[in-house]
Amino acid sequence: MTKPSTPPAAPHLPHEDFPPIAAEAIRLITTYLRDIESRPVLGPVHPGDLLNDLPRHPPSTGAADTPSRDLWSALYADLENLILPRMTHWQHPAFFGFFPANASYPAILGEILAAGLATPAFLWVTNPAATELEIRTVDWLAHALDLPPEWSISSGVGGGVIHTTASEATLTALVTARHRARARAMARPGWNPASWHPTLYTSSQAHSSVIKAAMVAGLAHDPDDRTHIRLIEVNDALALDPVALTSAITADLEAARTPIFIAATVGTTSSGAIDPLPEIARIARVHAPDAWVHIDASHHGVAAICPEFRPILTGLEECDSLCVNPHKWLLTNFDCDVFYVRDRRPLINAMSITPAYLRNAASDSGQVIDYRDWQIPLGRRFRALKLWCVFRHYGVEGLRCHIRTGVHLAQIIEQRIHDDPDFELVAPRSLNLVCFRLAPRPGESSPSADARNKRLAEAANASGKLYITPTILPGPPRFVLRIAIGGPATEERHIHDAWQTIRDLAHHAEG
């Protein structure tokens, strides 16, 4: 071999140049968040608007030809001029769509630190500190949520892990459920894989991620495939009906099928309905002891840090897993879904795989947690840092104030709707979530009422003054407007303004 010639170095940004350029980024996001009210929540944007403003081909050279300060000034200008005007501003105080996607400066600081330390933590040995900080912070959250001691790594056989999303948590729970149920079935006399027919249950109001998890796991060919999935009816409060659940499970058992998974929801997407956990757990215990009961509390579960809202999780102690999303309503930037299990052993049994290049002395000792065995991907970011920053900055009491403020603001708009004869509440307010609509006129047909409400929703979002997500509620199907509150910037005046806008638009549309 001959000595190879040295190629030119890449134009890395020198250490000393980073702080001033980063200070500009900090200034940019601070200004953005401070002045966000001056923007429409979502302005008029057409498909392709940004695409048409971006070069079709990547730049050939960058900092090798252009001084870094100039290069980054141009980039920030493009961000301001091309990107920000085409964004949906989830941090806007009048963003009431989907769910609150809380960001906070403490969590942003956690993201900055995580980006700088830049360390994967899929095995304990790949970053002991990241693993142990995650153990501690998710145990802190378990404590704040008043979970039973066995749901913590430090004090029990269960514990928590930070996932990307509730979708990942649900899929992980389903895969764990199937693995455990199948292992038990395999251990019984007469096991026949060809005749094993697993079934899963969730309410008709559950999030689409349950069916998507079944599609990924091979238990549904498409969203309408009901070979393995049972969508259980809901009661008047739009919560899962335990009688219907029992019937469905009983029918499957009579047909020699095996119930493996029940996904309960604490706070459905459309209306915030809370499934009856104690009854669901009892049904599972009595009729389907091999079934895993997972609680999707992704949006509302974090409210349980307030003692007065803790009852939403009553019955959890007999369930198998839970997910809550600090990245929704607990001031922690996306992604931060915390997935808890009562017993971590079935989870690890279902998810573990160890080739030679992942073996190491610490893992072999059994003394450490390797979080890759708690999730679907191998790699993972240092996400515990931001949750740690949030706990340190706010404290549990500060976080409770945030939840209570969201509920308080929802109570205000609930009252305004209640007091207004043109509108009606369509479902009971659930914490921070209010579903309502223009009340049908005497004798008005359902399609006509739906059309009026749809026009109102479109007009509201087109106004740029607020953003809401409409949905359809069952029994009978109704097109409804839905306001989800909980952004850290939202104050009482934003609620009053939003209500005034909705009323004005309603009068205009009606006129």
Per CB under 8 A, contacts with a copy of itself among 385-444 are 389, 391-399, 401-402, 404-405, 408, 411-412, 414-415, 418-419
Stretch that binds a copy of itself, among 26-34, 241-249, 256-264, 439-447 (CB under 8 A): 26-34
Stretch that binds a copy of itself, among 124-132, 230-238, 313-321, 493-501 (CB under 8 A): 124-132
Site string for a copy of itself, 31-50 (x = CB under 8 A): -xxx-------x--x-xxxx
Which value, in Å, is the radius of gyration of the alpha carbons in the chain?
Answer: 25
Which string of b and e fits 177-212 if b means at least 16 CB within 10 Å?
bbbbbbeebeeeeeeeeeeeebbbbbbbbbbebbbe
Q: How far is the CB of 246 from a copy of itself (least distance, A)?
A: 25
Using CB under 8 A, pick the residue from 335, 420, 424, 497 that binds a copy of itself.
335
Closer Cβ to a copy of itself, 141 or 244, answer by number = 141
Closer Cβ to a copy of itself, 114 or 245, answer by number = 114
446 binds a copy of itself (CB under 8 A): no
Residues 65-94 interacting with a copy of itself (rule: CB under 8 A): 65, 68, 71-72, 75, 79, 82-91
Site string for a copy of itself, 184-203 (x = CB under 8 A): --x-------x---------
Closer Cβ to a copy of itself, 168 or 279, answer by number = 168
Question: Which residue spans within 60-150 are E strands per DSSP?
Answer: 95-96
Residues 249-278 interacting with a copy of itself (rule: CB under 8 A): 269-270
12 binds a copy of itself (CB under 8 A): yes
Q: What is the rounded distance in angstroms from the CA atom of residue 420 to the CA atom of residue 442?
A: 16
Contact assessment for residue 486 and residue 406, using Cβ atoms and an 8 Å cutoff:
yes
Size of the site for a copy of itself (CB under 8 A): 178
13 binds a copy of itself (CB under 8 A): yes
Residues 454-483 interacting with a copy of itself (rule: CB under 8 A): 458, 469-472, 482
452 binds a copy of itself (CB under 8 A): no
Residues 288-327 interacting with a copy of itself (rule: CB under 8 A): 327
Q: How far is the CB of 423 from a copy of itself (least distance, A)?
A: 14
How far is CA 137 from each of CA 54, 129, 143, rounded to the nearest angstrom?
A: 41, 12, 10
Site string for a copy of itself, 338-357 (x = CB under 8 A): ------------xxxxxxxx
Closer Cβ to a copy of itself, 88 or 247, answer by number = 88
Stretch that binds a copy of itself, among 119-127, 272-280, 289-297, 444-452 (CB under 8 A): 119-127
Contact assessment for residue 219 and residue 229, using Cβ atoms and an 8 Å cutoff:
yes
Q: How far is the CB of 405 from a copy of itself (least distance, A)?
A: 6
Fill in the DSSP letter of residue 164: S
509 binds a copy of itself (CB under 8 A): no
Fill in the DSSP letter of residue 276: -
Closer Cβ to a copy of itself, 75 or 449, answer by number = 75
User: In the chain, helix, strand, coil percent, each to 5?
Assistant: 50, 15, 40
State residue 404 phi and psi, 5-degree precision: -65, -35
Residues 355-384 interacting with a copy of itself (rule: CB under 8 A): 355-358, 361-362, 365, 367-368, 376-379, 381
List all residues 6 or more positions away from 412 whose beta carbon is below 8 Å from its beta carbon: 492, 495, 496
DSSP 3-state of 475:
coil
Q: What is the rounded distance in angstroms from the CA atom of residue 457 to the CA atom of residue 300?
A: 24
Q: How far is the CB of 434 from a copy of itself (least distance, A)?
A: 13
Q: What is the rounded distance in angstroms from the CA atom of residue 97 to the CA atom of residue 452?
A: 19
Element (H, E) at 105: helix 105-117
Contact assessment for residue 486 and residue 469, using Cβ atoms and an 8 Å cutoff:
no
Residues 220-239 interacting with a copy of itself (rule: CB under 8 A): 221-223
Contact assessment for residue 446 and residue 59, using Cβ atoms and an 8 Å cutoff:
no
β-pairing, 433-438 vs 258-265, is: unpaired
